[in-house]
Chain A
Amino acid sequence: GAVVSQHPSRVICKSGTSVKIECRSLDFQATTMFWYRQFPKQSLMLMATSNEGSKATYEQGVEKDKFLINHASLTLSTLTVTSAHPEDSSFYICSAREGFPDTQYFGPGTRLTVL
């Protein structure tokens, strides 16, 4: 099956710093990538949808200036959490989708802890 990687798997940072998370589709070209946030024992909360070469579409309530998304190529999307605060601590998961069929494949997730 299709493989999506994320890096780093875990990151601990100080409050006020920025953190970048990479999401790569390893064996297919992803026309669309998604970024999710997941709190303990809860479902996946979609943060934004990004298409290669265009601006990301953010879900209501998600600050686009705080969560910067760049989809620079068909195999790479990045999420930058700017000026991170403890409330940004969470499990961040990306997914990637080929044009057709429209199956989403998820990365392994990144655990962010802001001290």
Chain B
Amino acid sequence: GENVEQHPSTLSVQEGDSAVIKCTYSDSASNYFPWYKQELGKGPQLIIDIRSNVGEKKDQRIAVTLNKTAKHFSLHITETQPEDSAVYFCAASYTNAGKSTFGDGTTLTVKP
């Protein structure tokens, strides 16, 4: 089955700096890669996703890049703010797979 590895497990940055979280996947059939943000005591919230037919997608301060050949994808957050502090999860799946495989999460701390 699919295996997703996420790193780093913890990341601390200064407000205004950029943060990058990377994930690798094992199943070349995977074609959908979402990123979720989870705040303490809440459910994960979808923040951005990318499909295998594109290499990059951007939404304001958040961007995701995908390298299908290397089977890795990354989340980029620019101009970080304290409210970006949370746990971020990546995931991988393929159409009609039935389920997604999640990374272990990255705890991002943005220091004011």
Docked-complex contact B44 and A34, CB < 8 angstroms: no
Closest B residue to A110 by beta carbon equals: B43
B112 contact set on A, CB distance < 8 A: none
Q: Which of A24-81 contact B (CB under 8 A)?
A: 32, 34, 41-44, 46, 49, 57
CB neighbours (8 Å) of B99 from chain A are 34, 46, 49
The reply to whether B46 and A104 form a contact with Cβ atoms under 8 Å apart is yes
Classify the secondary structure of A's interface with B: strand
Contact flag A44-B44 (CB < 8 Å), given A34-B99, A102-B96:
yes
B98 close to A57 (CB less than 8 A) = yes
How far apart are the CA atoms of A48 and B98 in the complex, in Å? Answer: 10
Contact of A111 (CB < 8 Å), options: B41, B45, B96, B100 = B41
B interface residues (Cβ-Cβ under 8 A, vs A)? 32, 34, 36, 41-46, 49, 89, 91, 93, 95-96, 98-100, 102-105, 107
What 15 additional pairs, Cβ within 8 angstroms, besides A106-B46, A109-B42? A4-B43, A41-B107, A42-B105, A43-B103, A44-B102, A57-B98, A93-B44, A102-B32, A102-B96, A103-B34, A103-B49, A104-B46, A104-B91, A104-B100, A105-B46
